[in-house]
Amino acid sequence: MSELQFRDAVSLTGATLSNNVAEVAAVVLCLLAWRDAHIIIHTDSTFVLGLLGGGLLALERDGWGDAPRHFSRGPPTPLLKTLLYLLRDRTGRLRFEKAKAHGDDIMNNLADALANEGRVKGRQLDIGSLTVPDGWVDTAPVLCHQPLDYLTKLVVRARVGAPAKTLKFEAFSDRWMVTLGLMFGVVLDPGNYIGKVWRLAIPEGLKEVLWKEMNGAQVLGHRYYGRGHVKSDMGRSCLCGAEMSLGHILLGCSAYELLPLMTSLLTILGALHPFSGFKTLSPDSWGTSPWFPLLALGALEEAAYPIVKGRKGILKNLKKTRQQREWIIGNYYWALWKWRMKEIHDAGFKFIPANCVTSLLTTLSTPVPAHMLQRPVTDGDGNEPPGECAGPMAAPLAGDLGRLPPPVSHILRQGAKGQLSAKGKQILRAIQAPVMNEHSRRLSRREAILRALTDDAYA
C-alpha cells in the first residue's frame, strides 16, 4: 500500500510458510516495486525489524545455516538473500517505522486484508526461485556452528599432504635415498628432509634452485635469449658437449676445471675441522649429485660415523660447526651457479675458474647471517629429537597432534586412550584410511629399494 494507491496481493509458494515469511516477503515486494524512490515502510513485525537491525548480517556471517528460532523448518534462504541484496542495491532513501498491530491504523488493517486476499486468489510468487546477482551477497559456507562429524569429514576430504610427500617429488626421493644409501650406507626417509631445504644455512637463491631441481621445475635444458635477442644454447648443453644440469655445473668438466675452486673450499673446511676422513667433510667425494648430503648433514654424521674412541666428542664438534659448514658449501655452490648463469646470459663474460679463486675465498670467509643461526631444539639431556637426526627409516607419520584441527586431534587422542564411541570409531577409521594407504604404498617401495641396496652391498 502507498499514497500512490498501488495495490498488490500474492500467494507465496516454494517454502514452508509462516507469518514471518509473509512479513519478509511483503518488504521484498515493496522494495521491488519502488527500486529508486524515497520510501518509508511501516511494519508491525518485530521480526522484520530485527533482521534489519543486524539479523541479516549475522546470517550472512554464519553462512546462512543458523536458522532463527522464528523459522520452525529452516529459513527461506533465497528470500532473505534477496532482501539483503535489495537493501544494498537501493539508491533512494529508505526508513522503517514500527506500526501498532491489530489497532486503529487504517493502512495496517488494509494490508492485513490484502494478505488474506492474496492467500485465496492472488498471483503466485515462488520464493525458492528468487536469485541474487553475483557479488552482492556472501554465499560462501563457513565452519562455525557446524557439527563435529561434518567438520571432520571436511578436514579429511580436503586434506592436502606436504609437498615432499606428493608424486612430483617421488622420482627425486628415490634417487636421493639410493644415492645416500650407496655413498654413506644409511637409508633415510626423504620426506623428513626435503622440506628442510628452507631451513638450511645457505643463500636464499640456492634454496630456490634446489627446490626447483627437486620437483623437476629447473629451467636448465632450454634455449636462452640474451641481450639483443641472440639465441644461446649454453643453457641446453655445456661447452664440453654434455647436457646441462645442476649436477654438471657443480661438478665441473673438461671445459671448466674446478680443482682450484674445490681446493679453496676444502681449505676453508679444513680450518674448521683439522681431522678428516669422513665424507661430510669432503664435498669432493659427494659423487654426481654433490648437493644431496646438504639436506641431511646431521643425520648422516650421527648415523654413519664409525664407532671409534672419542666419537661422542667428534660428533659434538661437528654439530657446533654444522651451520657454518652449510653456509660455506652453500656459498660455493651458489657462486658456481651464478657464474655459469652469467656466462649464459652475458655474452661479454667468460667463466674461468682459476681467475675466481680470490673472489671465492672472500665469499666463503663471510660469517653466517644472524637470521640463519638456529638454535636446535633439544631434550633435557641436550640431545636433538629423533626427527632432527633420524636414523635409518625414520617414522614417516610422526607429527604433532597439536598442529591438527581441534576435532581431528581430539578424536586421535581419544582413540589412543580407547575412549571413543561407535560414531567416533567410524570417524577415526575415515581419518586413518587414506593416511595408512599412502604409508603402505611408500613403505613397500622403499623396502624394495632397501633390498636392492643390500643385494648390491653383498654382490
Residue in 355, 346, 347 with CA at minimum distance from that of residue 256: 355
What whole-number distance in Å separates Cα of residue 83 and Cα of residue 165? 48
Q: At 231, phi and psi to the nearest 5?
A: -75, 135
Q: Is 394 left (phi over 0), alpha (psi -120 to 50) or beta?
A: beta
Question: Cα separation of 28 and 203, whole Å?
Answer: 62
Q: In the chain, what are the domain boundaries?
A: 10-142, 193-393
Residue type, 311: R
Question: Is the CATH code 3.40.50.40 the one for domain 10-142?
Answer: no
Locate 450 and state its grid cell.
Answer: 632397501
pTM of the full structure: 0.52
* pLDDT tens, per residue, the chain with 459 residues: 445 455 667 777 777 778 888 888 889 888 888 888 888 888 888 888 988 888 888 888 877 765 555 565 656 888 889 999 999 988 888 999 888 776 676 676 677 677 666 666 667 778 888 888 888 988 876 777 777 887 787 777 777 666 667 778 888 888 898 888 888 888 888 888 888 899 999 999 999 999 988 988 876 655 554 444 445 666 778 888 888 888 889 988 888 989 999 999 988 888 887 665 678 888 888 888 899 999 999 888 887 666 656 677 778 888 888 999 999 999 999 999 999 888 887 878 899 998 999 899 888 888 888 887 765 444 444 444 443 333 333 333 333 333 334 444 455 455 555 666 666 666 556 555 554 555 455 556 556 655 655 554 444
pLDDT at 73: 60
From the CB of residue 414, how many other CB atoms can be counted at a distance below 10 Å?
15
* pLDDT value, residue 203: 93
List the beta bridge partners of residue 126: 13
Burial class (CB in 10 A: 0-12, 13-18, 19+), 381: exposed
Give the Å distances, CA to CA, from 189 to 4, 11, 73, 453: 80, 68, 54, 14
| Interatomic CA distance for residues 214 and 209, integer angstroms | 9
Residue pair 202/294 in contact (Cβ under 8 Å)? The answer is yes
Q: Which pLDDT score is estimated for 394?
A: 31
Q: Measuring CA to CA, which residue among 332, 362, 356, 326 is closest to residue 265?
A: 332
Cell numbers 593416511: residue:
435
Q: Which residues have CB under 8 Å from 50's CB, separation 6+?
A: none
* Class of residue 87 by CB neighbours under 10 A (exposed 0-12, middle 13-18, buried 19+): middle
How confident is the model at residue 390, as a pLDDT? 33
d(CA 335, CA 446): 35
Cα(302)–Cα(280) distance, integer angstroms = 11
Which residues have C-beta within 8 Å of that of residue 19, sequence separation ≥ 6? Answer: 45
HEC profile of the chain: CCCCCCCCCEEEECCCCCHHHHHHHHHHHHHHHCCCCCEEEEECCHHHHHHHHHHHHHHHHCCCCCCCCCCCCCCCHHHHHHHHHHHHHCCCCEEEEECCCCCCCHHHHHHHHHHHHHHHHCEEEEHHHCCCCCCCCCCCCCCCCCCHHHHHHHHHHCCCCCHHHCHHHHHHHHHHHHHHHHHHCCCCCHHHCHHHHHHCCCCHHHHHHHHHHHCCCCCCCCCEECHHHCEECCCCECCCCCECCHHHHHHCCCCCCCHHHHHHHHHHHHHHCCCCCCHHHCHHHCCCCCCHHHHHHHHHHHHHCCCCCCHHHHHHHHHHCHHHHHHHHHHHHHHHHHHHHHHHHCCCCCCCHHHHHHHHHHHHCCCCCHHHCCCCCCCCCCCCCCCCCCCCCCCCCCCCHHHCCHHHHHHHHHHHHCCCCHHHHHHHHHHHHHHHHHHHHHHHHHHHHHHHHHHHHHC
Q: 42 - beta bridge partners?
A: 97
